[in-house]
Amino acid sequence: MSAIWEEVPRDENLIKHLQEIAKDTALLHGVLMRTKESPNSPEVVSYAPFTMFPTRVPRTVFNQALAVQTHFNRLVDRVSQDPEFLEETLASTIKVDDFTARLFNIYREVQRESQLQPVVLGLNRSDYMLDQSPDGRTSLKQIEINTIAASFGGLTSRTPDVHRHILKVANLLEERNQILDNNPAEGLARGLAKAWELYGSERAVVMFLVEDVQRNIYDHRYVENELWKKNIPVIRRQFEDVCRTGSLDQSRKLFVDGREIAVVYFRNGYMPQNYSSEQSWDARLMMERSLAVKCPNISTHLAGTKKVQQELARPGVLERFFPDEPETVAQIRATFAGLYTLDMGEDGDKTVAMALANPDRYVLKPQREGGGNNIYGQEICEVLEKLKDSSERSAYILMDKIQPIPVQNYLLRPGDPIGLKSCLSELGVFGAYVRKGKDMVFNECVGHLLRTKSSEHADGGVAAGVAVLDNPLLF
């Protein structure tokens, strides 16, 4: 058996022949997004952007990422149950970051409730890049963990068959046979179904809380349809709908449009602009106070903040959550990149000096999800020069910039000419867990996501229009 290719094919005639087939194959397999021009219309759709060929990923680091995911599920869950840790860790951030402060106020209010829903559902995605050290070794480094609205579990469940067909037409049969099966949509739906079942009412529904602009609706639909297959009813509603028709009964069951809600699945609510009015914040508080299972609940949302990520990387902190599991601690810690505090004080001052001296070695991160928020290069100096003597710098953390090896690939994007690009990839691993009281009743790694972008772009994901969907080709 010959080795998997060192680089993708470059034959111009082959690429010309494949590109129309590739796009049609994506459409045939449902790798779809609505268009920018008609984001809320099912009448006009196109293929979601993707790579012509799968990208080579070392088998050892891929397996490492999958193996550590159930530990990350437990870590997020344990952090969410530690009020003292969340309070201490986020104390400086909530003074200067209004969005995190608003979330934290809801958390405090909910903590005072006498009766909380004992069922907790987490659908996470841990994102990594492959760092190349000066001596040539490749290691897995975590970028972040997404605990709210972790996307592309649906569409990435359909991309393996797209690449299989492209490789078959290109007569790359050995590579075709190496494409992995991958179905995060089914695994995420199993987590949702377990939470629905534990809620204990067959009449109650799963509510996807969604944005008003819904270009990425098909990604949701795959998870939704998996639930319908299990005879679990699903509704889609926006904050405005919950404001208008939502209510709690005397036992704090949540009703929206007269339907009892068993599970609120947040596909919205992770950015300040998602809360368009005070009523949106009121709706979030009402949902959090309710007996519906929240995915994520407010404490799990806060456990996914960048400040918590930075704190967990400090020496000795992981041991707080895994006191008798040194191997688990070692597995998690092995994925951490360097993370540094910008809080006021000596440590924060050292971080500022370090970043100003070598800005190209770091990434400056605010407490935001959704891609496109990070700060790089000379812009780091501009931001920190302004904030270095202000407590506002606590709204950020600093992270080592990961140095992946660029690879060559063709990116297929509606309206763009095709050409060979230098690309960087990011590996995401999906985890799902359900806890009832103190018992973890479901904890699984449920699939992966590979996203690839042109190396000219520093930041941004598929939904932001920068990265494209991909598949790993293990070697």
Pick the catalytic residue from 34, 125, 215, 294: 125
Q: Are residues 324 and 372 in the same domain?
A: no
pLDDT-based confidence at residue 370 (cuts at 50, 70, 90): low
Pick the catalytic residue from 365, 368, 388, 401: 365
pLDDT exceeds 90 at position 283: yes
Q: Please report, for the domain that includes residue 369, its CATH number.
A: 3.30.1490.50
pLDDT exceeds 50 at position 44: yes
425 closest CA partner among 132, 11, 40, 3: 132
| Number of neighbours of residue 20 by Cβ within 10 angstroms | 9
Mean pLDDT of the chain: 95
In a domain, 3, yes or no: no
Q: Would you say 404 and 131 are in contact if contact means Cβ atoms under 8 Å apart? A: yes
Query: Is 370 a residue of the active site?
Result: yes
Query: Is 157 a residue of the active site?
Result: no
Q: Are residues 456 and 345 in the same domain?
A: no
Percentage of the chain modeled with pLDDT above 70: 97
Pick the catalytic residue from 164, 306, 388, 393: 306
Query: Is 369 a residue of the active site?
Result: yes
Q: Are residues 312 and 209 in the same domain?
A: yes
Mean of the pLDDT values across residues 173-201?
Answer: 98
φ, ψ dihedrals at 180, nearest 5°: -80, 145
- pTM beyond cutoff 0.75: yes
Query: Is 306 a residue of the active site?
Result: yes
Mean of the pLDDT values across residues 206-214?
Answer: 97
Q: Are residues 368 and 232 in the same domain?
A: no
Pick the catalytic residue from 224, 226, 288, 369: 369
Give pLDDT, residue 105: 98
Q: Are residues 369 and 237 in the same domain?
A: no
Residue 193 and residue 80: Cα distance in Å, rounded? Answer: 22
More confident residue, 262 or 457: 262
**Distance (Å) of CA 336 to CA 64, 126, 128, 299, 364:** 13, 11, 9, 22, 16
Mean of the pLDDT values across residues 157-171?
Answer: 98
Pick the catalytic residue from 92, 126, 139, 151: 151
Give tens-digit pLDDT for 21-41: 999 999 999 999 999 999 999
Give tens-digit pLDDT for 371-425: 678 999 999 999 999 999 999 999 999 999 999 989 999 999 999 999 999 999 9
Q: Are residues 300 and 379 in the same domain?
A: no
Query: Is 436 a residue of the active site?
Result: no
Q: Which residues contact 202 (CB under 8 A, 6 or more apart)?
A: none
Query: Is 183 a residue of the active site?
Result: no
Quickly count helices (H) and strands (E) in the chain. Answer: 16, 21
Residue numbers of the domain that contains 344 = 338-401
In a domain, 418, yes or no: yes
Query: Is 144 a residue of the active site?
Result: yes
Pick the catalytic residue from 80, 126, 146, 157: 146
Give pLDDT, residue 113: 86
pLDDT exceeds 70 at position 463: no
Query: Is 164 a residue of the active site?
Result: no
User: What is the tally of structural domains in the chain?
Assistant: 2
User: Burial level of 372, CB count in 10 A (0-12/13-18/19+)?
Assistant: middle
Pick the catalytic residue from 105, 186, 361, 370: 370
- Domain stops at, among 358, 381, 401: 401
Mean of the pLDDT values across residues 158-187?
Answer: 97
Mean of the pLDDT values across residues 169-173?
Answer: 97
Give pLDDT, residue 1: 36
Pick the catalytic residue from 34, 56, 139, 144: 144
Query: Is 125 a residue of the active site?
Result: yes
Residue 243: CA atoms inside 13 Å, Cβ hemisphere, count?
11
pLDDT exceeds 80 at position 369: no
In a domain, 431, yes or no: yes
